[in-house]
Amino acid sequence: MTAAEFQKISHTIPGNAGIYKYYDEAGTLLYVGKAKSLRKRVSSYFVKNHDNYKTRKLVEHIHHIEFTIVDSEQDAFLLENSLIKQFRPKYNINLKDDKTYPYIVIKHESFPRVFFTRNVIKDGSDYLGPFTSVGRVREILDVIKYNIPLRTCNLNLSEENIRKGKFKVCLEYHLGNCKGPCEGLQTQEDYREGLQQVKNVLKGNLTPVVNLFKEQMMDHVARMEFEKAEIMRKKIESLETYSAKSTIVNTRMGNVDVFSILSEGNHAYVNYLRILNGTIADTKTVTLEKQLEESDEEVLAYAIAYLREVFKSINTEIVVPFPLEYPESNITITIPKGGDKKKLLELSEKNVNYFKDELYRKKILHLEGKSDMERKQVLYQLQADLELPVLPEHIECFDNSNFQGSYPVAACVVFKDGVASKKDYRHFNIKTVEGINDFASMKEIVFRRYNRLLAEGQPLPQLVIIDGGKGQLGSAMESIRELNLIGSMTVVGLAKNEEEIFFPGDSQSIKLPYNSESLKLIRRVRDEVHRFGITFHRQKRSKGTFKNELESIKGIGENTATQLLKTFRSVAKVKLLPEEDLAKEVGAAKAKLIWNHFHHPNG
C-alpha cells in the first residue's frame, strides 16, 4: 500500500484505542499491533521513511487494514497478545517456546489422586503448575508422598463400592503411605485436609504444614504414642530440609514475578523468576525474534504477558529493570534500586546471560584443543558442503563496522586449520570512502588486504568470507578482479541474519543444515570478526580518534553530535530532519547551525 493509497482511507480509521491488523493481497495476516490512537499509529507507517528493511517490506505488502476498537489500553494489550499467539503473523515478535510443561494434577474424583502429567484435560480436575523442570516436579511429589498419606491406586472409590466392601487395603496402607479410604478407614473430610496440605507445599507455603505436624506430634506425645510422634518428627525434619534446599530470598517478600531482558541483534532473551512466599519456585528463559526493530520495552511487555499466562501467575507485583507500559489492571511495576528485589533482578540477569552464552556455545564450533585429525574432518566437510576445489586450510573473513551510522572501520580475521590465527588479524581505517558506504568500504579493504599479500609474496587463503549479502560480495569481487585473483581463491558472502551463503553470480543461496559442523565453524569465524571489529571500534571511540560530519559544523561540539547520533542513529537521518525537530533535541540556535550546514552549505 502506498502513502497515496493510504490517504484515501485514513479518514475511516478511528482515533480510539484498539488493535489494527495488516493483510496482504492473498488475505494473509502480516502484522497485529495495538495503539492508544489507531489513526495516529497506523498513519505513522505511511507518512515517514523507514530505515528498517523489514518495516519497508511490510508496508509494501499491506493490501488492506482491519481494526478493532476496545474500551481501554489493557483490552488492546490483551487482545494483541491473544491474536499474535493464535495467528503468529510473519512480522510480529516470534517467541520460540514449543515445549509442553509438566503439571501436578489433583484428579476430580472421590479421594482424589495426585500425580504428574503433561496433558491438561478439562474434566474438572485441579491442575497445579506448570513447572519448568520435571526433576523439580518429581522432587515435590516425593516430599508429598513421604509427608502426606494419599492413595496412589486407580480404584473407583465411590461411596457405594466402599460400602459394599469391594476393596482391601494394599501394602501402601501397611507402610503408612495411605490411610485406607478403600475400606472406609479414612473420611472424605480427613482426606481433603491432606489435599490442602498438598496445595500448601506446591505453593511453597510450608509453615501451615509444619505447624499442623507439630500439633499432631505433641498430641501423640501427650497420649504416650512415641513411635507415632517420632514419625511426625521425621516428617517435620523432611519438610525443613526441603525448605532449606529451596532458594529462599526473604519470606516476608511474598509473591512477585521478576523479569530481565538481554537483546542482541534481532534476538532478545527474557528470563522469568517466579517467587512464591519469598522462595524461587520456578525459572524460565525464552528466546524472542524481533521483526521490526522492536524496543526492549515492547519485547519485554510481550514476553511478560506470554510467560504469566503460560505459568498462570496471579502475582500482583512485577519486578523489571526499567520503566514499562504494562496495562494489566491491579499490577504494580517495580524497578528496584537496592535490597532483596534488586538482588533478585541481578540473579535473573545472571540467568539470562548464562542462557545466551549456552546457546552461543552450542551454535558455534571451537576447534582449539582438538586433534589435527578432528580439525581436518571439519574442514573436509566444509569443502564438500561448499564444493570447494581445495581444502580450506586458510580462511579469512571481512566485516565493516560503524557506530550509529558514523565512524566506519573494518576488520579481517584469519583462521588456519580451523583455528584462529590472531597474529594475522588486521584492522582497517577506511581511507578512500566519504561517509557511510558499506559496499565501497568493502571494496577498499579487500583490495588493500590482497594487494599487500601479493606485494609481500604471502600465501593467499583458499576461502574468503564476506560478512554481508550480495551487495558486499559484489563489491569485494570488483577488487578481486582488479587484482587478477579470479580463480585463486573462493569468495562467498554470508547474509547477516539468515546465515545463507552466496557465491558470486549465483541467484540462489546455499543454506547449510542448522547444526552442521560446517555452519558452526562459519559462525565461529563470523562471530570472531564481529568481536574483533567492535573491539577496535570501541578503542577508537574511547580515544576520541573519530570525528564525524556533525562535529565539523562550527558551533557543534562532540557532546551535541553524540546526543544527536544516539537519538537519530545516523548523520543521514539528521540531514533529513526539519529544523523544528532538531530544535526540540538541541535547542533553536544549534538547530539553525545544523540545518543551514546541510541545506545551505554555501550560505
Answer yes or no: is 240 within a domain. Answer: no
Rounded to 10 degrees, what is the CA torsion of 585, 590, 593, 596? 30
Nearest to 577 by CA among 485, 565, 128, 357: 565
Answer yes or no: is 112 within a domain. Answer: yes
Are residues 586 and 514 part of one domain?
A: no
Round the average pLDDT of the chain to a whole number and report it.
83
What is the torsional sign of CA 134, 140, 141, 143? positive
Q: Which residue has the higher pLDDT, 453 or 16?
A: 453
Summarised one tens digit per residue, pLDDT across range 466-484 is: 998 888 999 999 999 999 9
Q: What is the pLDDT of residue 405?
A: 46
How far from 44 is each of 91, 313, 585, CA to CA, in Å?
16, 35, 20
Residue 269, H or E segment = strand 267-276
Answer yes or no: is 30 within a domain. Answer: yes
Are residues 86 and 108 part of one domain?
A: no
State the residue range of the domain holding 59. 3-92
Q: What is the pLDDT of residue 459?
A: 93
Are residues 492 and 575 part of one domain?
A: no
Evaluate if pTM is beyond 0.85.
no
Q: What is the CA radius of gyration of the chain?
A: 32
Q: What is the pLDDT of residue 443?
A: 92
Number of domains in the chain: 5
Answer yes or no: is 221 within a domain. Answer: no
> How many angstroms separate the first and last alpha carbons of the chain?
39
What b/e string do you get for 570-590 counting C-beta neighbours within 10 Å, with b at 16 or more? bbebbeebeeeebbebbeeeb
Are residues 414 and 537 part of one domain?
A: yes
Locus of grid cell 529493570: 321
Q: What is the pLDDT of residue 402?
A: 61
Answer yes or no: is 247 within a domain. Answer: no
**Residue that is last in its domain, among 314, 342, 362:** 362
75-94 mean pLDDT: 81
**Residue that is last in its domain, among 308, 335, 362:** 362
Are residues 414 and 484 part of one domain?
A: yes
> Residue 237: is its pLDDT beyond 70?
yes
Kindly report the CATH number assigned to the domain that includes residue 485.
3.30.420.340
Q: Any idea what DSSP says for residue 486?
A: B
Kindly report the CATH number assigned to the domain that includes residue 35.
3.40.1440.10
Answer yes or no: is 210 within a domain. Answer: no
Are residues 351 and 424 part of one domain?
A: no
**Residue that is last in its domain, among 343, 362, 381:** 362
Summarised one tens digit per residue, pLDDT across range 212-235 is: 888 888 888 888 888 878 878 887
Summarised one tens digit per residue, pLDDT across range 513-530 is: 888 889 989 989 998 988
Q: What confidence category does residue 421 fall into, taking pLDDT thresholds of 50, 70 and 90?
A: very high
Are residues 379 and 479 part of one domain?
A: yes
Are residues 133 and 55 part of one domain?
A: no
Summarised one tens digit per residue, pLDDT across range 99-119 is: 667 888 888 888 888 888 888
Q: What is the pLDDT of residue 97?
A: 63
Nearest to 319 by CA among 305, 306, 309, 332: 332
Summarised one tens digit per residue, pLDDT across range 42-79 is: 888 887 666 666 777 888 888 888 888 887 777 787 78
